[in-house]
Chains A and B, each alone.
Chain A
Protein backbone atom coordinates (compact mmCIF):
# COMPACT_ATOMS: atom_id res chain seq x y z
CA UNK A 1 0.00 0.00 0.00
CA UNK A 2 1.29 3.42 -0.82
CA UNK A 3 1.96 5.91 1.91
CA UNK A 4 -1.00 7.93 3.02
CA UNK A 5 0.91 10.30 5.20
CA UNK A 6 4.03 10.50 7.26
CA UNK A 7 7.51 11.61 6.47
CA UNK A 8 6.22 13.27 3.32
CA UNK A 9 8.92 12.45 0.81
CA UNK A 10 6.71 13.37 -2.13
CA UNK A 11 5.60 16.85 -3.06
CA UNK A 12 5.61 18.25 0.45
CA UNK A 13 9.17 17.07 1.05
CA UNK A 14 10.78 20.40 0.37
CA UNK A 15 8.29 22.16 2.64
CA UNK A 16 9.99 20.47 5.54
CA UNK A 17 12.39 23.34 5.91
CA UNK A 18 10.14 25.23 8.24
CA UNK A 19 11.96 28.47 7.87
CA UNK A 20 10.36 31.60 9.20
CA UNK A 21 9.60 33.87 6.31
CA UNK A 22 9.37 37.62 6.35
CA UNK A 23 5.79 38.00 5.22
CA UNK A 24 4.31 41.36 6.11
CA UNK A 25 1.17 39.98 7.74
CA UNK A 26 2.80 37.01 9.49
CA UNK A 27 0.24 34.44 10.55
CA UNK A 28 -2.62 36.40 9.02
CA UNK A 29 -1.80 35.85 5.38
CA UNK A 30 -0.29 33.07 3.29
CA UNK A 31 -0.81 34.53 -0.20
CA UNK A 32 -3.30 31.86 -1.24
CA UNK A 33 -6.46 33.83 -1.95
CA UNK A 34 -7.08 31.90 -5.17
CA UNK A 35 -7.82 28.65 -3.31
CA UNK A 36 -10.65 30.37 -1.40
CA UNK A 37 -11.97 31.86 -4.64
CA UNK A 38 -11.80 28.50 -6.43
CA UNK A 39 -13.74 26.90 -3.59
CA UNK A 40 -16.40 29.57 -3.79
CA UNK A 41 -16.83 29.18 -7.53
CA UNK A 42 -17.10 25.42 -7.27
CA UNK A 43 -19.66 25.64 -4.46
CA UNK A 44 -21.66 28.34 -6.23
CA UNK A 45 -21.90 26.61 -9.59
CA UNK A 46 -22.81 23.44 -7.73
CA UNK A 47 -25.75 24.68 -5.74
CA UNK A 48 -26.42 28.39 -5.40
CA UNK A 49 -26.96 29.50 -8.96
CA UNK A 50 -30.68 30.08 -8.43
CA UNK A 51 -29.91 32.65 -5.72
CA UNK A 52 -27.28 34.13 -8.03
CA UNK A 53 -29.85 34.56 -10.76
CA UNK A 54 -32.46 36.14 -8.47
CA UNK A 55 -30.01 38.83 -7.44
CA UNK A 56 -29.62 39.75 -11.08
CA UNK A 57 -33.29 39.66 -11.98
CA UNK A 58 -34.46 41.95 -9.17
CA UNK A 59 -33.01 45.26 -10.46
CA UNK A 60 -34.07 44.36 -13.98
CA UNK A 61 -37.66 44.01 -12.77
CA UNK A 62 -37.39 47.41 -11.08
CA UNK A 63 -36.02 48.90 -14.29
CA UNK A 64 -38.95 47.59 -16.27
CA UNK A 65 -41.64 48.45 -13.70
CA UNK A 66 -40.36 51.90 -12.74
CA UNK A 67 -38.63 52.86 -15.95
CA UNK A 68 -41.19 51.80 -18.50
CA UNK A 69 -44.27 51.95 -16.26
CA UNK A 70 -43.68 55.06 -14.19
CA UNK A 71 -41.42 56.54 -16.87
CA UNK A 72 -44.34 56.76 -19.32
CA UNK A 73 -46.06 59.16 -16.91
CA UNK A 74 -42.96 61.20 -16.14
CA UNK A 75 -41.38 61.59 -19.57
CA UNK A 76 -37.99 63.26 -19.35
CA UNK A 77 -36.01 64.61 -16.38
CA UNK A 78 -32.85 66.65 -16.00
CA UNK A 79 -29.70 64.49 -16.25
CA UNK A 80 -26.30 65.00 -14.57
CA UNK A 81 -24.99 67.43 -17.21
CA UNK A 82 -28.20 69.45 -17.22
CA UNK A 83 -29.50 67.79 -20.40
CA UNK A 84 -32.95 66.24 -20.60
CA UNK A 85 -32.93 62.43 -20.48
CA UNK A 86 -35.70 59.86 -20.34
CA UNK A 87 -36.77 58.81 -16.83
CA UNK A 88 -35.70 55.22 -17.51
CA UNK A 89 -32.22 56.40 -18.49
CA UNK A 90 -32.17 58.43 -15.26
CA UNK A 91 -32.90 55.51 -12.93
CA UNK A 92 -31.02 52.75 -14.82
CA UNK A 93 -27.52 53.64 -13.53
CA UNK A 94 -28.95 54.06 -10.02
CA UNK A 95 -30.43 50.57 -10.18
CA UNK A 96 -27.07 49.28 -11.39
CA UNK A 97 -25.46 50.76 -8.29
CA UNK A 98 -28.17 49.12 -6.16
CA UNK A 99 -27.53 45.82 -7.90
CA UNK A 100 -23.78 46.04 -7.20
CA UNK A 101 -24.56 46.85 -3.58
CA UNK A 102 -27.08 44.03 -3.20
CA UNK A 103 -24.80 41.39 -4.70
CA UNK A 104 -21.86 42.43 -2.57
CA UNK A 105 -23.92 42.73 0.59
CA UNK A 106 -25.59 39.36 0.11
CA UNK A 107 -22.25 37.64 -0.41
CA UNK A 108 -20.47 39.37 2.41
CA UNK A 109 -23.24 39.33 5.01
CA UNK A 110 -25.78 36.47 4.84
CA UNK A 111 -23.43 34.14 3.06
CA UNK A 112 -20.57 34.87 5.45
CA UNK A 113 -22.91 34.75 8.46
CA UNK A 114 -24.00 31.25 7.54
CA UNK A 115 -20.48 29.98 6.89
CA UNK A 116 -19.22 31.59 10.08
CA UNK A 117 -21.88 30.36 12.46
CA UNK A 118 -23.39 27.24 10.93
CA UNK A 119 -21.25 25.60 8.27
CA UNK A 120 -18.08 26.21 10.34
CA UNK A 121 -16.36 26.57 6.99
CA UNK A 122 -13.83 29.14 8.09
CA UNK A 123 -12.80 27.11 11.10
CA UNK A 124 -11.84 24.31 8.71
CA UNK A 125 -10.03 26.67 6.36
CA UNK A 126 -8.02 28.24 9.15
CA UNK A 127 -6.69 24.85 10.23
CA UNK A 128 -4.83 24.76 6.92
CA UNK A 129 -2.07 27.03 5.67
CA UNK A 130 -4.63 29.76 5.04
CA UNK A 131 -4.67 32.82 7.25
CA UNK A 132 -7.71 35.01 8.07
CA UNK A 133 -6.68 37.59 5.50
CA UNK A 134 -6.61 34.94 2.74
CA UNK A 135 -10.15 33.96 3.68
CA UNK A 136 -11.39 37.57 3.86
CA UNK A 137 -9.85 38.58 0.55
CA UNK A 138 -11.10 35.38 -1.08
CA UNK A 139 -14.68 35.95 0.05
CA UNK A 140 -14.55 39.61 -0.99
CA UNK A 141 -13.14 38.63 -4.39
CA UNK A 142 -16.10 36.30 -4.85
CA UNK A 143 -18.47 39.11 -3.96
CA UNK A 144 -16.72 41.31 -6.54
CA UNK A 145 -16.91 38.65 -9.24
CA UNK A 146 -20.61 38.40 -8.63
CA UNK A 147 -20.90 42.20 -8.65
CA UNK A 148 -18.99 42.36 -11.95
CA UNK A 149 -21.21 39.69 -13.45
CA UNK A 150 -24.40 41.50 -12.41
CA UNK A 151 -23.06 44.83 -13.65
CA UNK A 152 -22.10 43.39 -17.03
CA UNK A 153 -25.48 41.75 -17.45
CA UNK A 154 -27.37 44.87 -16.39
CA UNK A 155 -25.28 47.09 -18.65
CA UNK A 156 -25.98 44.71 -21.53
CA UNK A 157 -29.72 45.01 -20.87
CA UNK A 158 -29.38 48.79 -20.78
CA UNK A 159 -27.68 48.53 -24.17
CA UNK A 160 -30.45 46.37 -25.57
CA UNK A 161 -33.03 48.90 -24.34
CA UNK A 162 -31.12 51.67 -26.09
CA UNK A 163 -30.13 53.42 -22.87
CA UNK A 164 -26.42 53.54 -23.63
CA UNK A 165 -25.53 56.57 -25.70
CA UNK A 166 -21.82 57.04 -24.98
CA UNK A 167 -18.81 54.66 -24.75
CA UNK A 168 -18.09 56.25 -21.32
CA UNK A 169 -21.06 54.27 -20.07
CA UNK A 170 -18.97 51.09 -20.23
CA UNK A 171 -16.96 52.51 -17.32
CA UNK A 172 -20.03 51.76 -15.23
CA UNK A 173 -18.89 48.12 -15.10
CA UNK A 174 -15.53 48.68 -13.34
CA UNK A 175 -17.13 51.44 -11.26
CA UNK A 176 -19.78 48.94 -10.10
CA UNK A 177 -16.99 46.63 -8.97
CA UNK A 178 -15.50 49.47 -6.92
CA UNK A 179 -18.92 50.05 -5.34
CA UNK A 180 -19.26 46.34 -4.64
CA UNK A 181 -15.77 46.30 -3.11
CA UNK A 182 -16.72 49.06 -0.70
CA UNK A 183 -19.86 47.28 0.48
CA UNK A 184 -18.27 43.82 0.58
CA UNK A 185 -15.24 44.84 2.63
CA UNK A 186 -17.46 46.60 5.17
CA UNK A 187 -20.25 44.02 5.11
CA UNK A 188 -17.96 41.18 6.11
CA UNK A 189 -16.52 43.15 9.01
CA UNK A 190 -19.98 44.08 10.27
CA UNK A 191 -21.28 40.54 9.88
CA UNK A 192 -18.52 39.28 12.17
CA UNK A 193 -20.30 41.06 15.05
CA UNK A 194 -23.63 39.37 14.33
CA UNK A 195 -24.61 36.36 16.36
CA UNK A 196 -28.33 35.88 15.68
CA UNK A 197 -30.76 36.09 12.77
CA UNK A 198 -32.52 39.01 14.46
CA UNK A 199 -29.31 41.01 14.33
CA UNK A 200 -28.90 40.11 10.67
CA UNK A 201 -32.29 41.69 9.99
CA UNK A 202 -30.82 45.06 10.96
CA UNK A 203 -28.83 44.90 7.74
CA UNK A 204 -32.05 44.80 5.70
CA UNK A 205 -33.42 47.56 7.90
CA UNK A 206 -30.57 49.80 6.76
CA UNK A 207 -30.39 48.60 3.16
CA UNK A 208 -34.01 49.16 2.17
CA UNK A 209 -34.29 52.88 3.07
CA UNK A 210 -30.84 53.45 1.60
CA UNK A 211 -32.08 51.89 -1.64
CA UNK A 212 -35.26 53.97 -1.72
CA UNK A 213 -33.92 57.35 -0.66
CA UNK A 214 -30.40 57.65 -2.12
CA UNK A 215 -31.57 59.74 -5.07
CA UNK A 216 -32.34 56.47 -6.80
CA UNK A 217 -35.71 57.45 -8.26
CA UNK A 218 -35.65 61.25 -7.99
CA UNK A 219 -33.01 63.94 -7.47
CA UNK A 220 -31.57 64.79 -4.08
CA UNK A 221 -32.89 68.36 -4.37
CA UNK A 222 -36.39 67.28 -3.30
CA UNK A 223 -35.15 66.92 0.30
CA UNK A 224 -34.56 69.71 2.82
CA UNK A 225 -30.88 70.54 3.29
CA UNK A 226 -30.42 68.58 6.53
CA UNK A 227 -31.76 65.36 4.99
CA UNK A 228 -29.56 65.91 1.94
CA UNK A 229 -26.49 65.89 4.18
CA UNK A 230 -27.52 62.57 5.73
CA UNK A 231 -28.08 61.01 2.32
CA UNK A 232 -24.77 62.36 1.06
CA UNK A 233 -22.96 60.75 3.98
CA UNK A 234 -24.27 57.31 2.99
CA UNK A 235 -22.35 55.18 0.50
CA UNK A 236 -25.12 54.32 -1.94
CA UNK A 237 -25.75 57.96 -2.91
CA UNK A 238 -22.11 58.27 -4.03
CA UNK A 239 -22.48 55.08 -6.06
CA UNK A 240 -25.70 56.26 -7.68
CA UNK A 241 -24.26 59.66 -8.60
CA UNK A 242 -21.00 58.17 -9.88
CA UNK A 243 -22.74 55.73 -12.21
CA UNK A 244 -25.26 58.36 -13.31
CA UNK A 245 -22.42 60.65 -14.35
CA UNK A 246 -20.62 57.85 -16.16
CA UNK A 247 -23.79 56.82 -18.00
CA UNK A 248 -23.87 60.12 -19.86
CA UNK A 249 -20.12 60.82 -19.83
CA UNK A 250 -20.27 63.90 -17.61
CA UNK A 251 -17.30 64.39 -15.28
CA UNK A 252 -17.04 66.99 -12.51
CA UNK A 253 -15.05 67.43 -9.31
CA UNK A 254 -17.81 65.40 -7.64
CA UNK A 255 -16.78 62.35 -9.72
CA UNK A 256 -13.43 62.32 -7.94
CA UNK A 257 -15.09 62.73 -4.55
CA UNK A 258 -17.39 59.76 -5.22
CA UNK A 259 -14.43 57.56 -6.19
CA UNK A 260 -12.41 58.76 -3.20
CA UNK A 261 -15.33 57.97 -0.89
CA UNK A 262 -15.24 54.36 -2.04
CA UNK A 263 -11.46 54.05 -1.82
CA UNK A 264 -11.58 55.19 1.82
CA UNK A 265 -14.51 52.83 2.48
CA UNK A 266 -12.58 49.90 0.99
CA UNK A 267 -9.47 50.54 3.08
CA UNK A 268 -11.40 51.05 6.33
CA UNK A 269 -13.54 48.00 5.57
CA UNK A 270 -10.52 45.76 5.01
CA UNK A 271 -8.90 46.96 8.22
CA UNK A 272 -12.09 46.27 10.15
CA UNK A 273 -12.65 42.85 8.60
CA UNK A 274 -9.11 41.62 9.13
CA UNK A 275 -9.08 42.83 12.72
CA UNK A 276 -12.39 41.08 13.36
CA UNK A 277 -11.33 37.80 11.77
CA UNK A 278 -8.18 37.85 13.80
CA UNK A 279 -10.19 38.37 16.96
CA UNK A 280 -12.68 35.65 16.05
CA UNK A 281 -10.30 32.97 14.91
CA UNK A 282 -6.99 33.60 16.60
CA UNK A 283 -8.31 34.12 20.10
Chain B
Protein backbone atom coordinates (compact mmCIF):
# COMPACT_ATOMS: atom_id res chain seq x y z
CA UNK B 1 0.00 0.00 0.00
CA UNK B 2 1.32 3.47 -0.82
CA UNK B 3 0.41 4.71 2.62
CA UNK B 4 3.81 5.48 4.06
CA UNK B 5 4.33 8.98 2.81
CA UNK B 6 7.13 11.42 3.54
CA UNK B 7 5.82 14.22 5.80
CA UNK B 8 6.65 16.86 3.22
CA UNK B 9 4.33 15.22 0.73
CA UNK B 10 1.64 15.11 3.36
CA UNK B 11 1.57 18.86 3.51
CA UNK B 12 1.75 19.28 -0.24
CA UNK B 13 -0.94 16.99 -1.59
CA UNK B 14 -3.74 16.35 0.89
CA UNK B 15 -6.07 14.40 -1.38
CA UNK B 16 -4.93 12.10 -4.14
CA UNK B 17 -7.33 9.98 -6.21
CA UNK B 18 -6.31 7.59 -8.98
CA UNK B 19 -8.87 5.78 -11.10
CA UNK B 20 -11.43 6.15 -8.31
CA UNK B 21 -14.49 4.03 -9.12
CA UNK B 22 -17.74 3.31 -7.29
CA UNK B 23 -20.25 0.90 -8.75
CA UNK B 24 -23.71 0.04 -7.50
CA UNK B 25 -24.39 -3.19 -9.33
CA UNK B 26 -23.79 -2.40 -13.00
CA UNK B 27 -24.22 1.33 -12.53
CA UNK B 28 -20.97 3.28 -12.14
CA UNK B 29 -21.73 6.32 -9.97
CA UNK B 30 -18.07 7.33 -10.13
CA UNK B 31 -16.19 5.96 -13.10
CA UNK B 32 -12.42 6.12 -12.85
CA UNK B 33 -11.69 9.70 -11.81
CA UNK B 34 -8.20 10.98 -10.88
CA UNK B 35 -7.28 14.25 -9.22
CA UNK B 36 -4.93 15.81 -6.69
CA UNK B 37 -5.74 18.55 -4.21
CA UNK B 38 -2.81 20.47 -2.75
CA UNK B 39 -2.99 21.86 0.79
CA UNK B 40 -4.75 25.19 1.09
CA UNK B 41 -6.49 24.96 -2.25
CA UNK B 42 -10.16 25.49 -2.75
CA UNK B 43 -11.20 22.64 -5.00
CA UNK B 44 -14.60 22.19 -6.59
CA UNK B 45 -16.58 19.35 -8.08
CA UNK B 46 -19.06 20.88 -10.47
CA UNK B 47 -21.78 18.81 -12.08
CA UNK B 48 -25.51 18.16 -12.30
CA UNK B 49 -27.45 16.06 -9.81
CA UNK B 50 -26.41 12.43 -10.07
CA UNK B 51 -22.98 13.19 -11.52
CA UNK B 52 -21.22 11.32 -8.71
CA UNK B 53 -20.12 14.33 -6.65
CA UNK B 54 -21.61 13.24 -3.32
CA UNK B 55 -20.40 9.67 -3.80
CA UNK B 56 -16.87 10.99 -4.31
CA UNK B 57 -17.20 13.05 -1.12
CA UNK B 58 -18.39 10.01 0.80
CA UNK B 59 -15.42 7.99 -0.37
CA UNK B 60 -13.06 10.77 0.73
CA UNK B 61 -14.68 10.67 4.17
CA UNK B 62 -14.24 6.90 4.31
CA UNK B 63 -17.98 6.24 4.73
CA UNK B 64 -18.33 4.68 1.31
CA UNK B 65 -16.13 1.86 0.07
CA UNK B 66 -14.72 2.32 -3.41
CA UNK B 67 -15.05 -0.45 -5.96
CA UNK B 68 -11.58 0.11 -7.39
CA UNK B 69 -8.85 2.70 -7.74
CA UNK B 70 -6.66 4.39 -5.16
CA UNK B 71 -7.43 7.13 -2.71
CA UNK B 72 -5.13 8.75 -0.16
CA UNK B 73 -6.14 11.46 2.29
CA UNK B 74 -3.04 13.01 3.86
CA UNK B 75 -1.26 9.84 2.82
CA UNK B 76 -3.75 7.44 4.38
CA UNK B 77 -6.37 5.21 2.84
CA UNK B 78 -9.70 6.34 4.35
CA UNK B 79 -11.08 2.80 4.16
CA UNK B 80 -8.29 1.40 6.28
CA UNK B 81 -7.91 4.36 8.63
CA UNK B 82 -11.34 5.96 8.71
CA UNK B 83 -11.18 7.36 12.24
CA UNK B 84 -7.67 8.83 11.77
CA UNK B 85 -8.54 10.37 8.42
CA UNK B 86 -11.81 11.81 9.69
CA UNK B 87 -10.00 13.37 12.65
CA UNK B 88 -8.62 15.82 10.07
CA UNK B 89 -11.78 16.29 8.06
CA UNK B 90 -14.64 18.66 8.58
CA UNK B 91 -17.80 17.51 6.83
CA UNK B 92 -20.78 19.61 5.83
CA UNK B 93 -23.28 17.14 4.36
CA UNK B 94 -25.85 18.00 1.74
CA UNK B 95 -28.67 17.82 4.27
CA UNK B 96 -28.13 19.32 7.70
CA UNK B 97 -27.95 16.54 10.27
CA UNK B 98 -27.72 18.65 13.40
CA UNK B 99 -28.63 16.98 16.69
CA UNK B 100 -32.16 18.24 17.31
CA UNK B 101 -32.18 16.89 20.86
CA UNK B 102 -29.35 19.22 21.84
CA UNK B 103 -29.16 22.99 22.01
CA UNK B 104 -27.02 25.04 19.64
CA UNK B 105 -23.85 25.27 21.71
CA UNK B 106 -24.13 21.65 22.89
CA UNK B 107 -24.25 20.56 19.26
CA UNK B 108 -20.70 21.85 18.88
CA UNK B 109 -19.38 20.47 22.17
CA UNK B 110 -20.92 17.02 21.82
CA UNK B 111 -19.68 16.75 18.24
CA UNK B 112 -16.19 17.64 19.44
CA UNK B 113 -16.43 14.84 21.98
CA UNK B 114 -16.93 12.39 19.11
CA UNK B 115 -13.36 13.28 18.10
CA UNK B 116 -12.21 12.58 21.64
CA UNK B 117 -11.38 16.25 22.28
CA UNK B 118 -11.37 17.43 25.91
CA UNK B 119 -14.02 19.75 27.37
CA UNK B 120 -11.32 22.25 28.38
CA UNK B 121 -10.57 22.74 24.69
CA UNK B 122 -14.15 22.46 23.46
CA UNK B 123 -15.89 25.04 25.65
CA UNK B 124 -13.88 28.09 24.50
CA UNK B 125 -13.71 26.66 20.97
CA UNK B 126 -17.50 26.36 20.80
CA UNK B 127 -17.90 30.01 21.79
CA UNK B 128 -15.32 31.07 19.25
CA UNK B 129 -17.09 29.12 16.49
CA UNK B 130 -20.51 30.48 17.45
CA UNK B 131 -19.09 33.94 17.00
CA UNK B 132 -17.57 32.94 13.66
CA UNK B 133 -20.95 31.61 12.55
CA UNK B 134 -22.71 34.75 13.88
CA UNK B 135 -24.78 32.61 16.23
CA UNK B 136 -23.50 33.75 19.63
CA UNK B 137 -26.90 35.02 20.72
CA UNK B 138 -28.45 31.66 19.76
CA UNK B 139 -26.09 29.58 21.92
CA UNK B 140 -28.88 28.30 24.16
CA UNK B 141 -31.56 28.09 21.47
CA UNK B 142 -33.08 24.86 20.26
CA UNK B 143 -31.87 23.75 16.86
CA UNK B 144 -35.33 23.56 15.31
CA UNK B 145 -35.92 27.24 16.06
CA UNK B 146 -33.10 28.27 13.70
CA UNK B 147 -33.64 29.46 10.11
CA UNK B 148 -32.25 27.46 7.19
CA UNK B 149 -29.26 29.76 6.82
CA UNK B 150 -28.51 29.62 10.55
CA UNK B 151 -28.66 25.82 10.55
CA UNK B 152 -26.26 25.74 7.65
CA UNK B 153 -23.85 28.07 9.47
CA UNK B 154 -24.13 25.95 12.59
CA UNK B 155 -23.35 22.84 10.54
CA UNK B 156 -20.27 24.57 9.17
CA UNK B 157 -19.25 25.73 12.67
CA UNK B 158 -19.69 22.15 13.86
CA UNK B 159 -17.49 20.84 11.06
CA UNK B 160 -14.69 23.14 12.28
CA UNK B 161 -14.68 21.94 15.89
CA UNK B 162 -11.69 19.65 15.33
CA UNK B 163 -9.69 22.29 13.42
CA UNK B 164 -9.81 20.24 10.24
CA UNK B 165 -7.14 20.46 7.59
CA UNK B 166 -9.71 19.64 4.94
CA UNK B 167 -13.29 20.85 4.85
CA UNK B 168 -15.71 18.86 2.69
CA UNK B 169 -18.79 20.85 1.70
CA UNK B 170 -21.53 19.03 -0.17
CA UNK B 171 -23.70 21.66 -1.88
CA UNK B 172 -23.22 24.14 0.95
CA UNK B 173 -25.75 26.74 -0.19
CA UNK B 174 -28.46 24.68 -1.89
CA UNK B 175 -31.85 25.84 -0.69
CA UNK B 176 -30.67 29.10 0.88
CA UNK B 177 -31.89 32.56 -0.04
CA UNK B 178 -29.40 34.94 -1.73
CA UNK B 179 -28.59 36.86 1.44
CA UNK B 180 -27.89 33.70 3.44
CA UNK B 181 -25.72 32.41 0.59
CA UNK B 182 -23.58 35.54 0.60
CA UNK B 183 -23.05 35.37 4.35
CA UNK B 184 -22.00 31.74 3.95
CA UNK B 185 -19.63 32.48 1.08
CA UNK B 186 -18.03 35.20 3.17
CA UNK B 187 -17.43 32.74 6.02
CA UNK B 188 -16.01 30.12 3.67
CA UNK B 189 -13.74 32.70 2.09
CA UNK B 190 -12.33 33.52 5.51
CA UNK B 191 -11.56 29.87 6.12
CA UNK B 192 -9.78 29.71 2.81
CA UNK B 193 -7.70 32.73 3.82
CA UNK B 194 -6.68 30.83 6.94
CA UNK B 195 -5.31 28.03 4.81
CA UNK B 196 -8.04 25.43 5.18
CA UNK B 197 -8.30 23.14 2.16
CA UNK B 198 -11.85 23.39 0.88
CA UNK B 199 -13.42 20.67 -1.23
CA UNK B 200 -16.90 21.55 -2.35
CA UNK B 201 -19.50 20.16 -4.67
CA UNK B 202 -21.99 22.46 -6.26
CA UNK B 203 -24.26 22.78 -9.22
CA UNK B 204 -24.19 26.55 -8.98
CA UNK B 205 -21.74 28.14 -11.38
CA UNK B 206 -21.60 31.40 -9.46
CA UNK B 207 -20.67 29.53 -6.31
CA UNK B 208 -17.89 27.65 -8.07
CA UNK B 209 -16.60 30.88 -9.60
CA UNK B 210 -16.67 32.66 -6.23
CA UNK B 211 -15.03 30.00 -4.15
CA UNK B 212 -12.94 27.62 -6.25
CA UNK B 213 -9.31 28.05 -7.22
CA UNK B 214 -9.62 25.00 -9.39
CA UNK B 215 -12.36 22.61 -10.25
CA UNK B 216 -13.26 19.50 -12.11
CA UNK B 217 -16.41 19.33 -14.19
CA UNK B 218 -18.03 15.97 -13.56
CA UNK B 219 -20.77 14.30 -15.57
CA UNK B 220 -21.98 10.70 -15.35
CA UNK B 221 -19.16 9.78 -13.01
CA UNK B 222 -16.39 11.05 -15.24
CA UNK B 223 -14.21 14.15 -15.34
CA UNK B 224 -15.06 16.25 -18.39
CA UNK B 225 -12.55 19.06 -17.78
CA UNK B 226 -10.25 20.40 -15.13
CA UNK B 227 -8.83 23.85 -14.42
CA UNK B 228 -9.45 27.21 -12.80
CA UNK B 229 -12.86 28.76 -13.52
CA UNK B 230 -11.25 31.45 -15.71
CA UNK B 231 -9.10 28.95 -17.61
CA UNK B 232 -12.09 26.67 -18.22
CA UNK B 233 -14.11 29.55 -19.57
CA UNK B 234 -11.21 30.65 -21.78
CA UNK B 235 -10.72 27.16 -23.09
CA UNK B 236 -14.28 26.03 -23.64
CA UNK B 237 -16.21 29.24 -24.19
CA UNK B 238 -15.92 32.71 -25.64
CA UNK B 239 -15.60 35.96 -23.75
CA UNK B 240 -19.25 36.92 -24.10
CA UNK B 241 -22.56 35.28 -24.77
CA UNK B 242 -25.51 36.79 -26.57
CA UNK B 243 -28.79 35.29 -25.39
CA UNK B 244 -31.75 35.70 -27.72
CA UNK B 245 -35.37 34.71 -27.16
CA UNK B 246 -37.67 34.53 -30.11
CA UNK B 247 -40.45 32.71 -28.34
CA UNK B 248 -40.37 28.98 -27.72
CA UNK B 249 -42.03 28.17 -31.07
CA UNK B 250 -39.55 30.01 -33.24
CA UNK B 251 -36.14 29.54 -31.56
CA UNK B 252 -35.21 26.45 -33.56
CA UNK B 253 -36.25 27.86 -36.97
CA UNK B 254 -34.59 31.23 -36.40
CA UNK B 255 -31.38 29.51 -35.31
CA UNK B 256 -30.77 28.39 -38.90
CA UNK B 257 -30.87 32.01 -40.05
CA UNK B 258 -28.30 33.02 -37.42
CA UNK B 259 -25.53 30.79 -38.79
CA UNK B 260 -22.23 32.62 -39.15
CA UNK B 261 -22.77 35.15 -36.38
CA UNK B 262 -20.27 34.74 -33.53
CA UNK B 263 -18.11 31.65 -33.12
CA UNK B 264 -20.69 29.11 -32.17
CA UNK B 265 -24.40 28.71 -31.75
CA UNK B 266 -26.35 26.76 -29.16
CA UNK B 267 -30.10 26.26 -29.42
CA UNK B 268 -31.95 25.59 -26.20
CA UNK B 269 -35.70 25.06 -25.89
CA UNK B 270 -36.27 28.56 -24.51
CA UNK B 271 -33.46 30.59 -26.11
CA UNK B 272 -30.61 30.73 -28.59
CA UNK B 273 -27.08 31.34 -27.32
CA UNK B 274 -24.48 32.94 -29.58
CA UNK B 275 -20.90 32.57 -28.35
CA UNK B 276 -18.94 35.58 -29.41
CA UNK B 277 -16.08 37.89 -28.41
CA UNK B 278 -18.23 40.95 -28.76
CA UNK B 279 -21.90 40.57 -27.89
CA UNK B 280 -23.03 44.04 -28.95
CA UNK B 281 -21.55 43.68 -32.43
CA UNK B 282 -23.17 40.28 -32.82
CA UNK B 283 -26.52 41.71 -31.78
CA UNK B 284 -26.19 44.38 -34.48
CA UNK B 285 -25.52 41.60 -37.00
CA UNK B 286 -28.69 39.84 -35.89
CA UNK B 287 -30.75 43.01 -36.44
CA UNK B 288 -29.04 43.54 -39.80
CA UNK B 289 -30.46 40.20 -40.92
CA UNK B 290 -33.92 41.46 -40.13
CA UNK B 291 -34.36 39.26 -37.06
CA UNK B 292 -35.90 40.84 -33.99
CA UNK B 293 -35.79 38.79 -30.79
CA UNK B 294 -38.39 39.29 -28.05
CA UNK B 295 -35.56 39.82 -25.57
CA UNK B 296 -31.80 39.97 -25.93
CA UNK B 297 -29.07 39.88 -23.33
CA UNK B 298 -25.31 40.21 -23.56
CA UNK B 299 -23.43 38.61 -20.68
CA UNK B 300 -20.00 37.26 -19.82
CA UNK B 301 -19.39 33.56 -20.27
CA UNK B 302 -19.85 31.43 -17.18
CA UNK B 303 -19.14 27.88 -16.11
CA UNK B 304 -22.69 27.08 -17.16
CA UNK B 305 -21.56 27.65 -20.76
CA UNK B 306 -18.53 25.45 -20.19
CA UNK B 307 -20.76 22.70 -18.92
CA UNK B 308 -23.20 23.11 -21.78
CA UNK B 309 -20.33 22.88 -24.24
CA UNK B 310 -18.87 19.80 -22.61
CA UNK B 311 -22.05 17.81 -22.04
CA UNK B 312 -24.69 19.40 -24.24
CA UNK B 313 -26.89 19.81 -21.17
CA UNK B 314 -27.63 22.46 -18.57
CA UNK B 315 -26.38 22.12 -15.02
CA UNK B 316 -29.66 22.84 -13.31
CA UNK B 317 -32.62 21.23 -15.03
**Which residues on A are within 8 Å of B, measured CB to CB?**
2-8, 10-12, 15-16, 18-21, 26-27, 30, 32, 35-36, 38-39, 42-43, 46-48, 119-121, 123-131, 281-283
Contact = CB atoms under 8 A, between A and B. Distances in A.
B164 A5 contact: yes
Contacts of A16: 88
Contacts of B111: 124, 128
B128 A30 contact: no
A119 B100 contact: yes
A6 B87 contact: no
Contact of B195 (A7, A30, A126, A130): A7
A126 B165 contact: no
Contacts of B90: 5
Given A18-B81, A39-B113, A46-B102, A4 B132 contact: yes
Contacts of A282: 62-65, 79, 82
Given A11-B118, A42-B102, 12 more contacts: A4-B163, A6-B194, A12-B163, A18-B74, A18-B84, A43-B102, A47-B101, A120-B97, A123-B63, A129-B83, A130-B83, A282-B82
Interface of B: 3, 10, 61-65, 74-76, 79-91, 93, 95, 97-103, 106, 110-111, 113-118, 121, 128-129, 132, 160, 162-165, 167, 190-191, 194-196
Query: Per DSSP, are chain A's interface residues mostly helix, strand or loop, or mixed?
Result: loop
Nearest to B192: A6
Contacts of A120: 95, 97
A28 to B, nearest CB: 8
16 contacts: A3-B163, A4-B129, A5-B196, A10-B163, A11-B117, A16-B88, A18-B76, A18-B85, A18-B88, A20-B3, A39-B99, A42-B110, A46-B103, A48-B101, A123-B63, A281-B63
Given A15-B88, A20-B81, A126 B63 contact: yes
A27 B194 contact: no
Contacts of B83: 27, 30, 129-131
Contact of B110 (A15, A39, A281): A39
Contacts of A6: 163, 165, 191, 194-196
Contact of A121 (B97, B115, B190): B97
A123 B249 CA distance: 48
Nearest to B89: A127
Contacts of A26: 80-82
Contacts of A48: 101
A125 B85 contact: no
Contacts of A130: 83, 114
B82 A35 contact: no
Contacts of B93: 123-124, 127
Given A2-B128, A6-B196, A127 B75 contact: no
A129 B167 contact: no
A111 to B, nearest CB: 11
Contacts of B121: 10-11
A35 B113 CA distance: 6
A239 B82 CA distance: 39
Contact of B116 (A10, A30, A123): A30
B211 to A, nearest CB: 16
Given A35-B116, A129-B116, A12 B162 contact: yes
Contacts of A2: 128
B194 A3 contact: yes
B99 A124 contact: yes
Contacts of A123: 63, 93, 97
Contacts of B163: 3-6, 8, 10-12
A192 to B, nearest CB: 16
Contact of A5 (B81, B99, B116, B194): B194
Contacts of A127: 61, 63, 86, 89, 91, 93
A18 B113 contact: no
Given A46-B102, A121-B97, A128 B80 contact: no
A155 to B, nearest CB: 29
B195 A20 contact: no
Contacts of A42: 101-102, 106, 110
A21 B106 CA distance: 30
Contacts of B81: 18, 20, 26-27
Contacts of B64: 282-283
A6 B164 CA distance: 6
